[in-house]
Amino acid sequence: MLFPSGLVLTLMMTCVHALPAFTQPLMRYKWPTQFVRSGKAKIEVLVQGAGPTVIIIPSYGRDGGDDYNSFTNYLVNAGYLVLRPQPRGTFGSMGPMTNVTLEDLSADIASVIDTLGGGQAIVIGHAFGTFLAKVSSVIYPEKIPAIVLAAPGGIYLPSNMAEMPFITGNTSLPIPERLKALQKAFFAPNHDAHIWLDGWYPEVLAMEHAAVQTYGSLTSHWGGADTTQVLELIPADDPFQPNSQWNVTTNLYPNRATSKIIADASHALFPEQGKAVFEAIIPWLKQQSSHI
Ligand SMILES: *[C@@H]1O[C@H](CO)[C@@H](O)[C@H](O)[C@H]1NC(C)=O
Ligand SMILES: *[C@@H]1O[C@H](CO)[C@@H](O)[C@H](O)[C@H]1NC(C)=O
Ligand SMILES: *[C@@H]1O[C@H](CO)[C@@H](O)[C@H](O)[C@H]1NC(C)=O
């Protein structure tokens, strides 16, 4: 199922060798991108690979580029079509930035699935992206049968953590203050938090934060729709999800949720452990994608 024909395999291997080393800003690479209309918004989507569709939704106030490049490569090499819709206000994506709801942002994801993804996709959300993955699966359960919740944070978010993205992502604040918050909230102790001083979009962060606040509590569908298959990836050093909350999701949804711990990683996760994330996901992903 994963390798339906020799042709796909051959094409993939050709692509593998053509992939660049990621040493420059994303915009310099001429990756195939497509624009998808969604209401008043126009969403730029990075399109890579061939196979069952996987969508990646990035974390708060950041784009879906560099942080996910190496992880995307692993998925492409494993035989997936990876779509990375860029949030409104990043790269070429544009649309209303005020009074935006999670439902609006879910509609953006649904348009991408319909236009480029063949009507069904497995959605991988990271941090804030997990909120959007959950809400999207509730509104469009037939389009999104399965979701990956990467660094979702705890259902009871520790109160001293809630403000962290608004310190790290507030580019008006002094760098030492932001760096301290990055180290505390987003990076495991032995990882260099400097790499995330860049890459924040304050206007996007404000738009997404307002959408989350307008939506209210997510606890009633912490595992997406009633039918959604869920893989939760919990970074071992993630202060947004202390280990007292490592079992919450699987206890709530024992029949459709699985959790895995990613060692030596915190809330940033993908730049910290992209390969380990891929290895944790792939057996589950193969199982899920055999159904779509
Ligand atoms: C956003 O919503 C508020 C309150 O509902 C309204 O006063 C305001 O005009 C809206 N802004 C835009 C840009 O639509
Ligand atoms: C960012 O920090 C500046 C300086 O402290 C502050 O004035 C501003 O309100 C902050 N912005 C947000 C969105 O919190
Ligand atoms: C979580 O589940 C594991 C495996 O079932 C168990 O060993 C562990 O004690 C549980 N932890 C908590 C905090 O409930």
Is the pLDDT at 15 greater than 50? The verdict is: no
Atom of ligand 1 nearest to the CA of 99: 1
213-269 pLDDT tens trace: 999 999 999 999 999 999 999 999 999 999 999 999 999 999 999 999 999 999 999
pLDDT score at 268 = 98
pLDDT in tens, 25-47: 555 555 689 999 999 999 999 99
Classify residue 128: in a domain, yes or no: yes
Q: How confident is the model at residue 291 (pLDDT cuts 50, 70, 90)?
A: confident
pTM, rounded to two decimals: 0.89
- Structural domain contains residue 105: yes
pLDDT class for 102, splitting at 50, 70, 90? very high
Does 214 contact ligand 1 (Cβ within 6 A)?
Answer: no
Number of domains in the chain: 1
Residues in contact with ligand 2 (CB, 6 Å cut-off): 166, 170, 172-173, 206
Q: In whole angstroms, how far apart are CA 153 and each of 61, 128, 162, 217, 261? A: 16, 9, 10, 14, 13
Q: Please determine, for residue 17, whether its predicted confidence score (pLDDT) is greater than 50.
A: no
Residue 193 counted as domain residue: no
Residue 163 lies in a domain: no
pLDDT reported for residue 12: 37
Q: How far is the CA of 284 from the centre of ligand 3 (A)?
A: 21
164-196, pLDDT tens digit by residue?
A: 999 999 999 999 999 999 999 999 999 999 999
Asked if the structure places residue 260 within a domain, the reply is: yes
**254, 230 in Cβ contact below 8 A?**
no
Kindly state whether residue 186 falls inside one of the protein's structural domains.
no
* Contact yes or no for 43/86 (Cβ under 8 A): yes
Q: How confident is the model at residue 232, as a pLDDT?
A: 98
Q: What is the pLDDT of residue 290?
A: 87
**Rounded to the nearest whole angstrom, what is the distance from the C-alpha of residue 246 to the centroid of ligand 3?**
8
CATH number of the domain bearing residue 112: 3.40.50.1820
Q: What is the pLDDT of residues 46-99, one digit of tens each?
A: 999 999 999 999 999 999 999 999 999 999 999 999 999 999 999 999 999 999
Could you list the residue range(s) of the whole structural domain that residue 234 is in? 33-156+201-289
- The number of the ligand nearest the C-alpha atom of 243 reads 3
More confident residue, 110 or 5: 110
- Domain assignment present for residue 215? The answer is yes
Confirm whether 224 is domain-assigned.
yes
